[in-house]
Chain A
Amino acid sequence: MPTVNVNGRDVSARDDWSVLEAAQAAGYEIPTLCKMEGCSPLGACRVCMVEVEGQERLQAACSTPAFEGMVVKTNTPKVREALRTVVELLLSEHEGLCVFCDRDQDCELRQIAGNLGIHANPYEGAKPRRRFDDSVPGIFRDTGKCIKCRRCVQICNDVQGLGAIFPQGRGYDTVIGPAFGRSLSEVTCVQCGQCAAVCPVGAIGERNQIDEVWAALADPRKRVIVQTAPAIRAALGECFGYPPGALVAGKTNAALRRMGFDGVFETNFAADLTIMEEGTELLGRLAAQFRDHTRTHLPLITSCCPGWIAFAESLYPELMPYISTCKSPQQMFGTVAKTYYARSEDIDPADLVVVSVMPCTAKKAEAVRPEMYSSGYQDVDYVITTRELSTMINTLGLDFGELEAEEPDAPFGAATGAADIFANTGGVMEAALRTAHYVVTGRPLPGENLHVKPVAGLAGVKEAGVEFQNCREAWSFLEGVELSVAVAHGLGNARSLVESVRRGEKSYGFVEVMACPGGCIGGGGQPRMTSDEVRLARIKALYSDDEGKPSRASHENPHVQRLYDEFLEEPNSRIAHELLHVHR
């Protein structure tokens, strides 16, 4: 435990701390533009410089280890002057006007410049060549605004294991992007948006659809309905000053009604529906294996994350038969809306506009896939992120904090607790097991409070086993069978899970994968910046939302039951397959 003196204050640092962390412990926030939690320091941006006694040159706080007896000064004329120069140089190469930028409000570069009192640019110089890449539906790249901090490179390479982007060229001419000047559509980018979530400036972001949504709302011929994903309720509040994990589902519904949506729904309904379909698919495959002894594809792998699907399609195509044929809840909702709902409300589906609010940039890409026109129309018309919704709420001038909570509309109504946890890693697994266990044994899932503890939390790959005991007559062939399950979040972790199965070291019956670290609560469209502390707060909130629900398992959702009775017949029926599954 080295003792470090920061600006005259002694703090005891942990052995693995850098000067940055020691300074934080002493109460000083040092600016950073490249350092990211959980990633090794890059030392690329040089805005974290400090004076260390006995050292001639300024040191980068993020990559200088704290040592015993170290004396650090973070706020000397020399530090301020150097920092100012670095930021001024960054601004001189930075192309784009703040007011026209999505990051207007939360740009880290702008904040640092503001804190330094920089109001003019003393270095008018050449700007690098600007390239705007909007070749994919989920995200854009604008190299003119890029400050080459390399956070996106680190996320895409080290966390997601994809390496779609990398610094190309050297020095002033460096461009952060794909090989050979290609655009994102020409390389394996799954549009998870994790790069957009960590970019400190407006150089990578979601492809905005706010204008399209306002236009639809203003069109008198259109009926515009909205669905909100389970991850939104635990994060949107952050845009309005609430701490991470504040539950704001009711306020969100109220805000959406004020915006003029004709129907306000929650994707949670469709999450319950997904569990009915996917749980039935799982039990079908287990029956094939243990009862009929026919060839089947186990493990069943979840399919609700389009980032994961894109990853598997390009890197592990041989896995496709294992992946559930279920569409994601977003897409199930869209299809049901443009068929069942349109019919029961007597609306021409051509005049019905379905908007989704998602934590996710990959969902923007999912909505325009060719399989997603089962209703005869594009099932989901527009997808906006949590961040885009917060902008729209601000446009309207709504005081979010003052809104009274409201319920979602009929006929889809409020969903079960199982749907709440769809947004966090391990949640889809737990939700599916709650229903599958009930179907097989007639009893609720054992485990404290219906939870599957080992698959919760932020470990990269998690495993559990569920044994079926005292099965119902029809499922007696599963008596004593232990279903082993695994959960991975973050595509790097997903890859190691897949590789361990391919090498034959592991075998499972059911696997859940979410592309984003922490699951959708940490999605590429969520309020910035998502640290592990933020992830854990959002996850905790969703589990408590779940625990507070009268129904905790998807098969108990009365609205889903009614949908089957009136329209879909039964899970995995022919019509359910036609509308709710993809046909590969």
Chain B
Amino acid sequence: MEAETQAHDDDKPAAHGNGDDHGDAGETSTDGGDTELHGLLAEFETPGALIAAARKVKNAGYTEFDCYSPFPVHGIDDAMGIKRTKLPLVVFGGGLAGLCGGLLLQWWMNAYNWPWNVSGKPTWSLPANIPIAYETTILLSVLTTFFGMWAANKLPQVWHPFFRLDRFAKVTDDGMFIGIEASDQRFELEQTKQLLVAAGATHVEECHTDARPEARSVPRAIYGVMIVLTVAALIPFALAFKARASKSSDPHWHVFSDMDFQPKAKSDQPFAEFADGRANRGEIVGTIARGNLRADDAYYRGLRDGQWITELPAAFKVDADKLNRGQERYNVYCAPCHGFDGAGHGIVPERVALRGGAWEARNLVSSDSVVIKMPNGQLFNTISNGFNTMMGYAAQVPVDDRWAILLYVRALQRGQNATQAELPAGAQVR
């Protein structure tokens, strides 16, 4: 195979002065400037030739060299003496981490930090946790493989000195190359060139890189873009932070309505969907809701034929429990004003007096009190609807409890106005 060496003498950096100033990094390595030899690039015709040449280069003792081809050439690893990659080992580690991590995650979250009770089954039941552990094992292995491979290959590296050679563009098409770097111990320009030609190269070329520091540093415009992008990326966070730190009376944004706004009626609110514009629906004329008839005048209103009843209503069954209930309710609802004994010296009037005012609660028990003579119906009505400055308790106290309180008031009256003769033996006052 005939070979031509196209490395011109005038390519050598020595042939140029340093005065040449290009505004830009040169497109090719051969147009002068302050350049530095990176290495030699030799082209070969076939995969077979590439393998044979690689073996020769290796046997000549070179280490800083590499072969380049559009597809993996099988047999080249052996010829170049490439050692088997340790990637599988790393991936094994990643997979193990995925397995343990997946199990730990599930155990910690479902069995330890917040034990889930599912139909009383044990909180940690391995078979049900296998599928996810299986997937995390694969996921971590895949991520380790992918990123591990690129890291080991030192990629991404968007620029490489050989990219300066037009010919090298063929490496992703049909070209096979060997590149020997000048940093190799055995590198000797002419001698190495000879070796490559002898190994069957059809073309050998020198590769120079620009040595000027400004050509090697990142252009300012790129820094500018990076700074702008970084600042722009912070804007959403800044806005979120501002929103958290400040107060606003505006309702928050409803990106998703979450059924927050519905055409539904709320009690005692205006409601446009009904003709009368109110949410509340009154009773339908001529009807009464179930259980709301309250036809028993005596029980519900203390009346019979428009007169206050004097006895207790038939619907109210008297027993000791009722009396106790009445005492308890009285002490809650009436004692603050009327006192525990019913004499009208509760804590509220006393407190009013202390402040220099006067608000007498009626004495319910003295023998001359109106209350003693009052028919049961009227007393019940007073408890239900109030009297003058005393408010009614119908809203707080159910009907039966009101009768129970009445019972107790009667008991207090009876107890405090008893004659000696009425007292049980031994309890008389001497």
Decide if A and B are genuine partners: no
Binding site for A on B (CB under 8 A): none
